[in-house]
C-alpha cells in the first residue's frame, strides 16, 4: 500500500500473485484469491480473477481428502517424465483402461484426467502419439505400428490394474 491506497498492478503482476497464492496453499474459491491479492496490495474483482484463472490454465483438482482446489499445470513440453513418476501417477489416478482401436480410453476419478494426460504426454512412451483429456477420461491415440492393444496392456501394467484393465 502506498499512502493508504491500493497498489496498482499490471496483469502480469496480478497473475504472478495468483499463481503464488495457489501454489502456497489450498485455494478453493475465487473470493479466497481476491482476498489473497488484497493482502499483497492488489485490488481485483472476482470477474477479473476468473478471467485470469482461465487465461493461466488453472483447473480445479480433487485432493486426497476429497476437496477441490485450484492448481496451475506446469507447461513444460520438453520436460520428460521419468518412468517411476509415470507409474506413480497411473497407479494413483487410473481406474480403468479400455481399447477401441486406435484409441485407448483411460478412466480416472472426476477432475483427474488432465494429470494423467500430462504425465503420459511427458513420458514419450513408444506407441503413444498423443492424448486428449476431459474431466474423468483420457483418450490416448496409439500409433499404427504398436497398436492400441499393446499400448493398453502397457498402460494397464504401469497402473497396476488387474486383468481386463480395471482396478479391483
- Comparing CA positions, the residue from 29, 34, 37, 32 lying closest to residue 13 is 37
In SS3 terms, 52-63 reads as HHHHHCCEEEEC
pLDDT number for residue 34: 95
pLDDT number for residue 80: 58
Q: Are 128 and 139 in contact (CB under 8 A)?
A: no
Grid coordinates in use for 143? 500409433
Q: Does the predicted TM-score (pTM) go above 0.75?
A: no
Q: Are 101 and 147 in contact (CB under 8 A)?
A: yes
Domains of the chain: 11-71 (1.10.10.10), 83-159 (3.30.1360.40)
Distance CA 164, CA 146 (A): 19
Distance CA 116, CA 85 (A): 11
pLDDT number for residue 8: 52
pLDDT number for residue 4: 41
- Comparing CA positions, the residue from 46, 51, 52, 50 lying closest to residue 13 is 52
pLDDT number for residue 13: 87
**Could you give the 3-state DSSP secondary structure of residue 65?**
coil
pLDDT number for residue 22: 86
Q: How confident is the prediction along the chain (168 residues), in pLDDT tens digits per residue?
A: 333 444 556 888 898 899 888 887 778 899 999 999 999 999 999 999 998 888 787 888 877 677 888 887 765 445 555 787 788 888 888 999 999 989 999 999 888 888 888 889 888 899 999 999 998 999 999 999 999 999 999 999 999 997 667 766
Amino acid at each position: 500500500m502506498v499512502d493508504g491506497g491500493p497498489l496498482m498492478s499490471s496483469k502480469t503482476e496480478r497473475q504472478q500473485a495468483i499463481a503464488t497464492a495457489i501454489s502456497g496453499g489450498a485455494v478453493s474459491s475465487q473470493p479466497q484469491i481476491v482476498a489473497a491479492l488484497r493482502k499483497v496490495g492488489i485490488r481485483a474483482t472476482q470477474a477479473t480473477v476468473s478471467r485470469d484463472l482461465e487465461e493461466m490454465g488453472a483447473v480445479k483438482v480433487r485432493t486426497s481428502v476429497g476437496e477441490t482446489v485450484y492448481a496451475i499445470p506446469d507447461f513444460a513440453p520438453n520436460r520428460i517424465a521419468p518412468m517411476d513418476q509415470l507409474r506413480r501417477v497411473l497407479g494413483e489416478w487410473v481406474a480403468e483402461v479400455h481399447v477401441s482401436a486406435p484409441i485407448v480410453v483411460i478412466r480416472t476419478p472426476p477432475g483427474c484426467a488432465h494429470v494423467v494426460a500430462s504425465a503420459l504426454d511427458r513420458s514419450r512412451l513408444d506407441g503413444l502419439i498423443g492424448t486428449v483429456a476431459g474431466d474423468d477420461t483420457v483418450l490416448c491415440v496409439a500409433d499404427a505400428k504398436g497398436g492400441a492393444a499393446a499400448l493398453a496392456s502397457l498402460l494397464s501394467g504401469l497402473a497396476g490394474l488387474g486383468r481386463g484393465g480395471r482396478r479391483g
